[in-house]
Structure 1
Amino acid sequence: MNTKYLFTILCLLVLHTAGAQQRKLIDPKATKETKALFENLYGLSAKHTLFGHQHATEYGHGWSGDADRSDVKSVVGSHPAVIGVDISGLSDRPRAEIEKTKEQLRKNVTGTYNRGGVTTVAWHFSNPVSAGDFYWKDSVSLPAVKYIIPGGEAHDKYIAILKDVAGWAKSLKGKNGELVPVIFRPYHEFDGDWFWWGSTHCTPDEFRALWKFTVAYLRDTAGVHNFIYAFSPDNIFRTEAQYLERYPGNEWVDLVGTDNYGDMGRYGKYDLDAAIKKLQIVSAFAEKNGKLAAFTETGLESLINPNWWNDVLLKVMKNDKIRLCYVLVWRNDTRSPTHFYAPYPGHANVPDFKKFYDDPYTLFEKDLQGIYK
């Protein structure tokens, strides 16, 4: 029997008594599958971390739209355990294109669920009150947060966008008609200045108001009960107090994480001690407050380090004081010869990735058993 499978079953059978009463979803009406995913991600994180890849089954290095394909599966025989999608296409486009995108995303998410995998949903949200897309562009972008929170002049427009998001969320159905749980990760990297919701474009109070209204509308008004809400700044923080500067409160967050490329080899810079310290802060906060913890984005573009998976990523994550339910690396672009974060067949990084795959610590889609039960 597969060693990882045995580990998985053992982890799911462990009764986690410490802090179990406080570790619960912020949505009291969450579906049983969503509750099961939350609990099982925590249980598995005692000995494992699920591996994730953004847009893994939508497209990859030199291909797009192929059925049941991912670059990761082509290399190791299994899709990632966690697959990232993005709902950027659900606003600021003609209605026909939005509906087409909804259907494409729905097929991707339900396909992952029916295979036993997990989906995390990012939102590169186009600025709803100005040009500039989701990035901040000087002289073009407006600081939209203050416009769309309650009392803002574009608040009704934001409600209409959220209504569309909610309708899509409630259309995600498994093969037996049950709602498909997803990890919803809006407004990521909010401590930087590159997105219009970044820290230089809104106050901490405005950001917290945006977060709280978004959750309250989706959960309480629109009746979305299949979301696990994830909070993920970039790697700018050095202390727990800095990490929590824009935190909306425990009643508004299920999962805490961080995005960190800068300490993990970007531009040739490696500061693994700093990366470990930041994940320790996230993990410790999660454990104290009944939350899940994750490494919500990382990676090395082009994988120019032939041993990055084991000498860098595993070295950082395999720390006694770190407990993470998943790690996600960024996408493999279809056309770019250099913009990729997971290996594809024939790449020099494949042997190191196979070693990473074989490590009992990492879980891929084939290793997951009954994560929604």
Structure 2
Amino acid sequence: MSAIAGDHNRFQVQPKLINPNADDCAKRLMAYLCDTYGRKMLTGQQIGVITSPEMDFIHRETGKYPAVGGFDFMNDSPSRLERGAVGTDTELALKWWEDGGIVTFCWHWNAPKDLIDQPPDNGWHRGFYTSATTFDLAAAFEDTDSEEYRLLLSDIDAISGLLAKLRDAGVPVLWRPLHEASGGWFWWGAKGPQPCIRLWKLMVERMTHMHGLHNLIWVWNGQHEDWYPGDEYVDIIGEDVYVPERNYVSNVKRFNQAADYTREAKIIALSENGPLPDPDGMLEDGALWAWNCTWYGDFVKSEQFTDWEMLRKFYNHSFTLTRDELPDLRSYLLPVRE
């Protein structure tokens, strides 16, 4: 066990958000996450893009719903809407919150322009992949009068409008944009860390100060220390981990890697996973993720990645929390001001 995993102080995170003007809904959720971190892990599940049977499937198999619902603004990207895509996840997320769940959003951001659009592998619908676009993020930042830079802003503004609907409904959002950047397979990471860090900071500043999105808790998921934008721009660190089929390891090495991105005590989440980690293994290794979010489709609907026995164990374990076990986050005690 590493010093970080073994040091209980690492789980004593102060419920202080990077946005000093955060809404009470975000403060309440952050306070709850800090209160449970290291003691319990929230179960989570991403829904599908076209159909979303995952939540009902889990309920049928385990008798429980996950505490955290994962949603995606993929089909709300303007370059997808132009081509006939229809975004549905905002309304689904509102319903999830009303039903007592916690909301997390990612954004498979279709490049604003320069889509290769050569099916099947590089069709427009895969425009978030580096292989499917020639959009150059570094060049966009070199000329802030360019069409490319203006499109970055307008796309951010479009998604901000949807996040504002959630804000106006009192929904706090675990907001995880620009995910897996260091992998390079998404265009926002294709030009190295510096342009991506600039885009992250631009998004934080614009969404917070121009759009007043004070309901956001910023979950950074760059997956490498060289891509870390700084503690003042990150509330929570997420790691996406896909291990081989039916491998139920705790992913402690990745947990410790994430903890090493900063000298501050930050909450660390398993923001995407394939096979479920065994809760007993997590407790043994000290890999006490704040929540997990299993990816959709066969990762949950078949026994290829996680067998039903482990699924039931995971959702009924004393270390994990399900939706029915959440408090009323609308009235959860606000953190005491320092």
TM-score higher than 0.5: yes
1:193-242 deviations in Å (ceiling 9; x for gaps) = 221122xx2132211111100111101111111111111135xxxxxxxx
Query: Which residue number corresponds to residue 278 of structure 2?
Result: 313
TM-score by length of 2: 0.81
- Residue 326 of structure 2 corresponds to residue 368 of structure 1: yes
In the superposition, relative to structure 1, how do residues 366 and 244 fare at CA in structure 2: closer, same or farther (>3 Å)?
same
Letter aligned with residue 84 of structure 1 = G
Matched-pair contact (CA < 8 Å) for 1:53–1:331: yes
The match for 2:41 among 49, 53, 78 is: 49
Structure-2 change in CA distance of 1:89 and 1:147 (3 Å): farther
Q: CA deviation at 1:97?
A: 5.3
In the alignment, the residues of structure 2 paired with residue 350 and residue 321 of structure 1 have an alpha-carbon distance, to the nearest angstrom, of 25
- Counterpart of 1:294? 269
Residues 343 and 353, structure 1, Cα contact 8 Å, conserved in 2: no
State which of 54, 74, 79 in structure 2 corresponds to 1:92: 79
Residue 149 and residue 89 in structure 1: after superposition, are their counterparts in 2 closer, same or farther (change >3 A)? farther
SS at match of 2:30: helix
Map of 1:265 onto structure 2:
244
CA separation of 1:116/1:285 partners in 2, compared to 1, >3 Å: closer, same or farther? farther
How far does the alpha carbon of each residue in 1:69-96 deviate from its partner, in whole angstroms, 9 at most, with x for none? 6211121222211111110112213469
Instruction: For residue 227 of structure 2, give the secondary structure of its aligned residue in structure 1.
Output: coil
> Does residue 42 of structure 2 align to residue 40 of structure 1?
no
Question: Aligned equivalents of 1:351 and 1:17: distance in 2?
Answer: 30
Aligned residue number for residue 323 of structure 1: 288
User: Against the structure 1 CA distance between its residues 279 and 70, is the aligned structure 2 distance closer, same or farther, given a 3 Å change threshold?
Assistant: same
**Percentage of matched positions with identical amino acids:** 24
Q: CA deviation at 1:260?
A: 1.0
Check conservation: 1:80, 1:364, Cα contact below 8 A. yes
Give, in whole Å, the separation in 2 of the partners of 1:342 and 1:18: 32
* Paired AA for residue 251 in structure 1: E
Q: Secondary structure at the match of 1:170?
A: helix
Measure, in 2, the Cα distance between the counterparts of 1:192 and 1:19.
28
Shift of residue 43, structure 1, vs aligned partner: 1.1
* Preserved CA contact (<8 Å) 2:42 2:322: yes
CA distance in 2, matches of 1:292, 1:214: 21
Alignment gaps of 5+ in structure 2: 1-9, 117-126, 333-338
2:254 and 2:63 mapped to 1: Cα distance?
32
CA, structure 1 residues 159+257, in 2 after alignment: closer, same or farther (shift >3 Å)? same
| Partner residue in 1 for 2:124 | none
The CA distance in 1 between the partners of 2:308 and 2:162, in whole Å, is 37
Q: Indicate the larger mover: 144-153 or 29-38.
A: 144-153
Matched ranges for 1:89-238 at <5 A = 89-90=75-76, 91-94=78-81, 101=87, 104-132=88-116, 133-137=127-131, 141-149=133-141, 151-152=143-144, 153=146, 154-172=148-166, 178-198=169-189, 201-234=190-223
Match of 1:294, SS state, is strand
Q: Distance in 2 between matches of 1:359 and 1:290?
A: 26
Measure, in 2, the Cα distance between the counterparts of 1:94 and 1:194. Answer: 22
Contact 2:252 2:285 in 1 (8 A): no
Tell me if the contact between 1:83 and 1:119 (Cα under 8 Å) persists in the aligned partners.
yes
Q: Which residue does the alignment assign to 1:59?
A: 51
Shift of 1:143: 4.5
* 1:179 positional shift: 2.2
CA RMSD across the alignment:
3.0
Distance 1:80 1:58, change over 3 A: farther
How many pairs does the alignment contain?
308
Please state whether the residue corresponding to 1:328 is helix, strand or coil. strand
The answer to whether the 8 Å contact 1:56/1:72 transfers is: no
Partners of 1:129 and 1:144 within 8 A in 2: no
**Is this contact kept in 1: 2:225–2:261, CA < 8 A?**
no
Offset of residue 52 of structure 1: 0.8
Question: Which residue in 1 is equivalent to 2:314?
Answer: 356
CA distance in 2, matches of 1:57, 1:47: 32
- Would the alpha carbon gap of residues 143 and 38 (structure 1) be closer, same or farther in structure 2, given more than 3 Å must change? same
Give the conservation status (yes or no) of the 8 Å contact 2:278–2:310: no
Which of 281, 287, 295 matches 2:257? 281
**Equivalence for 1:75:** 61
